[in-house]
Structure 1
């Protein structure tokens, strides 16, 4: 048997204790977000990434089927931002497509902030809310960067947590917005979202078919659980921006037929053949912006490159423009750092002594 002093006397063992971490609940995170602008955090981090000041390792991906046979997964996404002050951390986001039927959001998880000097975990945050905020903030930045900030109509296909967050954020970010079109496979979910938006200043329509909603939007946001493409090239309104948040909604022909195709990170696309755009790159049908003039359809720009001026946006272009953001963990890490810093200043959160 090991002498119990080796377990309890840190000085004798020389082992470093884990120290104290601050735990931020969803309510804590929500309180911090009231005083932060996540869109500006995401915008600044995308630009820093384009300047080479971010660390974006490959994600860890674990998939299984639960007792109901539903697709269930866990993704670990580390990242770092080398600007001052630097921020390092990790997102662990888990999901099951059977969760909504059980009254749960499809996805949830935790975020971790690391001390830049010691690598100790300093903060643990509820990440489900921040993940939805980050995703919607990327879309908002993309709408601006692609030249669609004057859009008067918005379509949202998929009215779950991501759809609701996009509706709330884009309503504030599109000053000319006059009409919102909604579709969800659950009409009740679409009606619930419509009820939150219908305050007299917007024309809100719940459509019976996804195609009807897509055709109505100058900006269309797809936030579904689709794993097979169904949006065909003749669905979008001429000149529309299609934000392919859920990544699986557009057919290959729709991706290849875009007037402009924007992504958040080229390596994320190339390294993920599970997703349609990554599969098209692996097949030699889609190439990086400097693809060399071959037969492959080049990606036109990254969001960060548009923000820094390394690429020029096409603007409103026919037949339509596609933004296909894969999801950069470094953006979550930057948001975690901003929330954690605000929580420290405001005395928000619960300190937990781990040892």
Structure 2
């Protein structure tokens, strides 16, 4: 395989928005992690200024099985999107796991949003089958991708409850018929009106307090620091994608809480493998909090599948040896 460079358009043409394939990638990668055939090394974190949201991350991983790749994602998180740009930019570089030969380079900011939304979709389908009402907090690129995922993977969805600090929404020009749209004046109001909540903002301070953690609530935190410690404390079940050494460095609410001495790892009810591979389910009417840290092993798996698919389809730019 000749080394390739894939743009976002190339990724889409190769099937990046095939949500069924994305769900299969999530499940297979979790199984490989559990068996030892996939692994993530500790991330390298480079502060880019005084704001804790402004950081660069080096994220290496290897994934065996049908993916057969090792790689590194290099990503920059800014506090605000620059004029004509995006708040988060990233590249992923891959090598074949068996031979070490270069596979390619992927513009992976969009792909990161896809794998994050795919994991959210898998968790929603597992913990809230037949979900009819969903809250999306935020209106940026991550919120828009999560809306795209919800429309594809939640066929019984009948109501969207939206909130963003700016008053914007992630909704584009067209929504399917029969889907009601409700805008709310607060994040908590949107969350309380829905059967599940996707918090997809860059909020530096919590926007959901303990009042949002009512019986039956399911709150997935995708963004930076959106859920108050008191709200997490009130949850009947605290879950996350995976607990690991990043609990010592991540700025996500749950890991901040852990480092503040307010959450012990032993309190974790389940992680993504337990939910998606083992069938863990909460008690009826339990309130559930899910922290989506973002597993870079998914980036490597997704990029490997799409690079090989793009090569078969003749997509992308061939790089000189």
Among 225, 230, 243, the residue aligned to 1:253:
230
RMSD: 2.3
Larger Rg: 1
> Equivalent residue for 1:302?
271
> Equivalent residue for 1:57?
41
Deviation at 1:30, TM superposition (A): 1.0
Partner Cα distance (2:52, 2:225) in 1: 17
Q: Does 1:167 align with 2:144?
A: no
Partner Cα distance (1:20, 1:199) in 2: 41
The 3 A distance-change label for structure 1 pair 237 and 105 is farther
> Equivalent residue for 2:164?
184
Q: Contact conserved, 1:50 with 1:308, CA < 8 A, in 2? A: no
Among 85, 91, 96, the residue aligned to 2:73:
91
Partner Cα distance (2:151, 2:128) in 1: 13
Q: Contact conserved, 1:197 with 1:204, CA < 8 A, in 2? A: no
Taking the TM superposition and a 5 Å limit, the aligned residue runs for 1:62-211 are 62-65=46-49, 71-99=53-81, 102-145=83-126, 147-187=127-167, 189-190=168-169, 193-211=170-188
Partner Cα distance (2:3, 2:25) in 1: 23
> Equivalent residue for 1:30?
12
Q: Secondary structure at the match of 1:194?
A: coil
For this pair of structures, how many residues does the alignment match? 319
> Equivalent residue for 1:235?
212
> Equivalent residue for 1:14?
none
Q: Contact conserved, 2:44 with 2:59, CA < 8 A, in 1? A: yes
Q: Contact conserved, 1:247 with 1:326, CA < 8 A, in 2? A: no
User: Any stretches of 5+ residues in structure 2 without a counterpart?
Assistant: none
Partner Cα distance (1:199, 1:312) in 2: 32
Instruction: Write out per-residue CA displacement over residues 217-252 of structure 1, whole angstroms, 9 at most, x where no aligned residue.
Output: 211000111122231121255412100001411100
Q: Contact conserved, 2:16 with 2:306, CA < 8 A, in 1? A: no
Q: Contact conserved, 2:187 with 2:207, CA < 8 A, in 1? A: no
Q: Contact conserved, 2:38 with 2:63, CA < 8 A, in 1? A: yes
Partner Cα distance (1:35, 1:137) in 2: 10
Q: Contact conserved, 2:224 with 2:251, CA < 8 A, in 1? A: no
Instruction: Write out per-residue CA displacement over residues 262-314 of structure 1, whole angstroms, 9 at most, x where no aligned residue.
Output: 111111453325333223323443233xx3xxxxxx000111122231x6221
User: Any stretches of 5+ residues in structure 1 without a counterpart?
Assistant: 1-18, 292-297
Instruction: Write out per-residue CA displacement over residues 147-187 of structure 1, whole angstroms, 9 at most, x where no aligned residue.
Output: 21211101000111000000111122112110001111222
With the length of structure 2 as denominator, give the TM-score of the two structures. 0.91
With the length of structure 1 as denominator, give the TM-score of the two structures. 0.83
Q: Secondary structure at the match of 1:246?
A: coil
Instruction: Write out per-residue CA displacement over residues 322-352 of structure 1, whole angstroms, 9 at most, x where no aligned residue.
Output: 1101111001100001101111111111111
Partner Cα distance (1:33, 1:20) in 2: 19
Among 184, 189, 196, the residue aligned to 1:219:
196
Q: Contact conserved, 1:247 with 1:324, CA < 8 A, in 2? A: no
Deviation at 1:117, TM superposition (A): 3.5
